[in-house]
Structure 1
Amino acid sequence: MNILILSVMICLGFCLGSFIHCAISRFLPDQTMIQYFKEIIFSRSKCPHCHKKLNILSLIPIFSWLKQRGRCKYCLAIIPIDYLITELIVGIYCLGITYCYNLTVWSIILIFIGLYYALLAIIDFKYLLLPNYLTYPLLLTGLLFAYFDVGLITFYDALFGAIYGYTLLSIPAAVYYLIKKRAGLGGGDIKLLAALGTWLPVTELVNLLLYASIVGITYFIIYKAIVRPIEKNILVPFGSCLLICAYLRLLILSFN
């Protein structure tokens, strides 16, 4: 693999990591689609302490945090290290995908779809929410790539996968509601599985539910035993579990 290509990809990863951190930190549960997109695209970055707008040199990934020694250049308040960590992780991630899958159209898609999965997973983990304006684009792009024969499945398989994925969770959710008179599964999780059905072979969806359930149960046990043993009603971010397992399966199937 050309060292220049790898260098470009890791630098691209640093920039994408900065953007993903911005997209996560600026999300609020009560935002509309317009408000959210306006916030992450048009709003200037600023110090969360003194609210001073940052200049170009303060926005360079990795370099700006190190140069300023983790402090705001205006008020000297500490800049959380998670900015730096996110940029480093995404940079290494982009480097790893490029190295393992070479620089192709599909490997670029894998990088961006992985970051989109991560965005959705973190939002669901923090807020137990999967907004339609973030879930529907995942479904539409899955159908679009399948239509142009870019990906693992055909357009008709993707279309059937969306219907099948929606059915797999909507029927059990409806039955649970009829019996318990309360929702046992969020509508966002149902739409998410439909969207994931446009990316993965339909034969993977049942297994995906099994893997995600194992991850969810493990999370529940650890959370219950270590974090909050007294708390009775613990809600599991099942969408996050689905996204983690779906992306791992996507990587494995792409490697074969």
Structure 2
Amino acid sequence: MNPNPRQLKLLQHVQKHHSSTVDELAGHLGVTVQTVRRDVQRLSEAGLLARFHGGVRVPDSTIENIAHHQRENLHAEGKRRIALAVAQAVPNDCSLLINIGTTTEAIAKALMQHTGLRVITNNINVAAILSLNQNSEVIVAGGVVRPRDHGIVGEATVDFIHQFKVDIALIGISGIEADGSLRDFDYREVKVSQAIISHAREVWLAADASKFNRLAMVRVAHLGQIDRLFTDEVPPDPFPDLLARAQVRCDIAM
């Protein structure tokens, strides 16, 4: 399904608080309980929410991400603001490594007016977007293509990334846990992201507010390995303290 604006607002509220009652959601959205129940029914059938008696919560899975076409529509406005903030910070005439994710795809769209970029990516969607920018160059990593999101993963991809040292790595992530761990779902994707992080002079993380306290199975890195975080809301506790101690610059895209 493609959630409508009200359903997106409902999802964002549940993801921010991890769970909510139907009555709370009705009050938050300013609609009837019956409307909330219909929305919850549709969203739970799509696997975006899990229901319990009288309320809903975020799905429990730490081993499988939401489908790519669903993630494209989730938090789209926040991702758009993040992408614009990242694009404003990226200089012309620099080299970039960009990984898999709908947020990095939004960033690719925001980089279309840049000149002199050399972009290395394991994301076919990013490559397709930026290949239309005739003033920049795109290099696509080799490896196994995941049909569900056109991400390229595997040992060949890691070996390919090891050839480069770029100015900036632009990475997305599935979850940031309260101990500062950055986590994702696919072990093969994680190995590529780790290679990207280790082959960049600066690492910029782009993550909307729903990623804070979201659980995923595989550890990618720690906030201490990040130089700059772009997000769309002030991070909840304990993240401001973690970011300060790790000396990570936090940019809030308004």
TM range (shorter): under 0.3
The TM-score normalised by the length of structure 2 is 0.27
Structure possessing the higher relative contact order (Cα contacts under 8 Å, 6 or more residues apart): 1
The TM-score normalised by the length of structure 1 is 0.26
Compare the two structures and name the one with the higher helix fraction. Answer: 1
Compare the two structures and name the one with the higher strand fraction. Answer: 2
**Larger of the two Rg values belongs to structure:** 1
